[in-house]
């Protein structure tokens, strides 16, 4: 990976549920915000809430919509109401399904034991994915568990921009950036005071930790 990409590690704050938290993320320097459309998540927002948040953050912050095995009709209903710039598929969606919306998308891969990262990456790269997000595996939930996984399992050979998620926090994200050298990092529970409620001080600390670690890689 080119050094310039390492230095400019992107940051996504996911699971935002209020305009105030979204503006705090933007003020801290986040490059993207994540809006969850998974009804079982405590961070789930309605299309109306999401549209309000998306309008508030402005045009130069990427607004990402997260879906978990949603139907085509459910996704299209959101797209008619919310100005999403990137789709994130966090379930068992096929590459063809993800690409069929003809919008930029990333695919999440939950790092269960034995998962073939290279095969999944190749499949979704061929389908036109914009990136591959690696998250911790838990049988209890598709994400937002606050658990990390063994970063040593991540291949150094990459066909897609790598987004690292899973248990990141202000305390460990610097080490993650140095070890994995991802295109971006994604955090949700690691900057919260309660599920769906962000802590502006933790967001600021997280962003600072990423920037400091990236500068050390120059």
Name the domain count of the chain.
1
116 given a catalytic annotation: no
Cβ neighbours for 86, distance < 8 A, ≥ 6 positions apart: 32, 62, 63, 64, 65, 103, 104, 105, 106, 130
* CATH number of the domain to which 108 belongs: 3.20.20.70
What is the distance between the alpha carbons of residues 88 and 56, in angstroms, rounded to a whole number? 20
What is the distance between the alpha carbons of residues 214 and 75, in angstroms, rounded to a whole number? 35
Note down the domain range covering 167: 3-216
Enter the pTM of the model. Answer: 0.92
Residue 109 near residue 115, CB atoms below 8 Å: yes
pLDDT tens, residue by residue, 94-131: 999 999 999 999 999 998 888 899 999 999 999 999 99
**pLDDT at res. 216:** 85
Residue 157 near residue 141, CB atoms below 8 Å: no
Q: How many residues does the chain have?
A: 218
Residue from 14, 44, 98, 186 carrying the catalytic annotation: 14
**pLDDT at res. 111:** 87
Across-strand partners of 36?
A: 44, 66
Residue 135 near residue 182, CB atoms below 8 Å: no
Cβ neighbours for 39, distance < 8 A, ≥ 6 positions apart: none
Which of 125, 201, 164 is closest to 6 using CA atoms?
164
Across-strand partners of 192?
A: 198
pLDDT tens, residue by residue, 121-151: 999 999 999 999 999 877 666 655 667 888 9
Tokens (6 digits) for 197: 């409620």
pLDDT tens, residue by residue, 26-83: 999 999 999 999 999 999 999 999 999 999 999 999 999 999 999 999 999 999 999 9
Report the chain's mean pLDDT, rounded to a whole number. 92
92 given a catalytic annotation: no
Tokens (6 digits) for 89: 């598929």
Residue from 44, 98, 135, 186 carrying the catalytic annotation: 135
């Amino acid at each position: 990976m080119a050094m310039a990409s390492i230095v400019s590690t992107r940051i996504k704050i996911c699971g935002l549920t209020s305009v105030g938290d979204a503006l705090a993320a933007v003020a801290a320097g986040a490059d993207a915000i994540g809006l969850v459309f998974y009804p079982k998540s405590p961070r789930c927002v309605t299309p109306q809430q999401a549209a309000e948040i998306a309008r508030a953050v402005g045009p130069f912050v990427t607004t990402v919509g997260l879906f978990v095995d949603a139907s085509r009709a459910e996704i299209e209903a959101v797209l008619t109401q919310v100005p999403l710039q990137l789709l994130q598929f966090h379930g068992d969606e096929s590459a063809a399904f993800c690409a069929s919306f003809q919008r930029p998308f990333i695919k999440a891969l939950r790092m269960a034991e034995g998962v073939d990262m290279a095969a999944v990456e190749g499949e979704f790269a061929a389908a036109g994915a914009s990136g591959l997000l690696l998250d911790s595996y838990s049988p209890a939930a598709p994400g937002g568990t606050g658990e990390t996984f063994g970063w040593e399992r991540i291949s150094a050979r990459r066909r897609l921009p790598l987004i690292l998620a899973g248990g990141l926090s202000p305390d460990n994200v610097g080490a993650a950036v140095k070890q994995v050298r991802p295109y971006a990092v994604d955090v949700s529970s690691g900057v919260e005071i309660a599920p769906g409620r962000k802590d502006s001080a933790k967001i600021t600390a997280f962003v600072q930790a990423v920037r400091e670690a990236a500068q050390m890689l120059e």
